[in-house]
Structure 1
């Protein structure tokens, strides 16, 4: 008997009640995190346990993930690097430099609008937009 991993169900459960933002900011990941931490008061830290590794054409690509757990809540923010050495975590969104995932707790429309607005004020950030799950073809790449 063979067991088959149901990637659709895993992806659906992983993204349940989550929000995903796409960010265009041609800066290094540590520079963006520094700005988020210093200017906006976040506390993003790299989480090497969550690093995503993809293998394409017998080469390995590593996509770092920064994590921030909002104190006294269940809300966790994850910042993914969408690009590594010419490859993309989400190839259908090559124009995006970073992906910001929020999960674990409800985020109101007002809170989301305020967050998007504040990210847009950072130096180097050109675009921030909310992404709908239906448009994401390679959802499983975001699951750690």
Structure 2
């Protein structure tokens, strides 16, 4: 008897109660995190345990993930690098440099809009958009 892992169910449960932003900001990830930490009072840190690894064309690609957990609720922020060495974590969004996943608690439309508007004030940020499930073809790449 063989058991088959259902990636769709796994992916769907991972994305339950999440919000995802796409950010165009052609700056280094550590510089961007420093700006976010200063603006919001966050403490984004790289988490090598959840780094995303993909293999394409017999090469390995490593996409850094930064993490910040809020103190007084269960909301966790994950900032993914969308590019590594000419490859993309979400190839359908090649124009985006970062993906910001909010997971673990409900984020209201108002709170998300405030976050988006604050992000747009950062130096180097050219675009901030919410990415909805229907727009994402390779969302299993974001599951860690």
TM-score surpassing 0.5? yes
Any stretches of 5+ residues in structure 2 without a counterpart?
none
- Residue equivalent to 2:26: 26
Partner of residue 112, structure 2: 112
Partner of residue 125, structure 1 = 125
- Whole-Å separation in 2 of the counterparts to 1:70 and 1:55: 32
Separation of aligned partners in 2, 1:135 and 1:4: 27
Figure out how many residues of one structure are paired with residues of the other and give that number. Answer: 144
Q: Any idea what SS the aligned residue of 1:96 has? A: coil
TM (norm. structure 1) is: 0.98
State the distance in 2 between where 1:40 and 1:68 align. Answer: 11
| Equivalent-residue separation in structure 1 for 2:128 and 2:71 (angstroms) | 24
After the TM superposition, list the runs of 4 or more consecutive aligned residues in structure 1 that deviate by more than 6 angstroms.
none
CA distance in 1, matches of 2:109, 2:132: 14
Q: How does 1:90-101 map to 2 (within 5 A)?
A: 90-101=90-101
Give the aligned CA root-mean-square deviation in angstroms.
0.6
Cα distance in 1, alignment partners of residues 29 and 16 from structure 2: 26
TM-score, length-scaled by structure 2: 0.98
5+ residue gaps, structure 1: none
Q: What is the CA deviation profile of residues 38-75 of structure 1, one whole-angstrom value per residue up to 9, with x for unaligned ones? A: 12211100000000000111110000000000111100
Q: Which moved more, 1:93-102 or 1:37-46?
A: 37-46
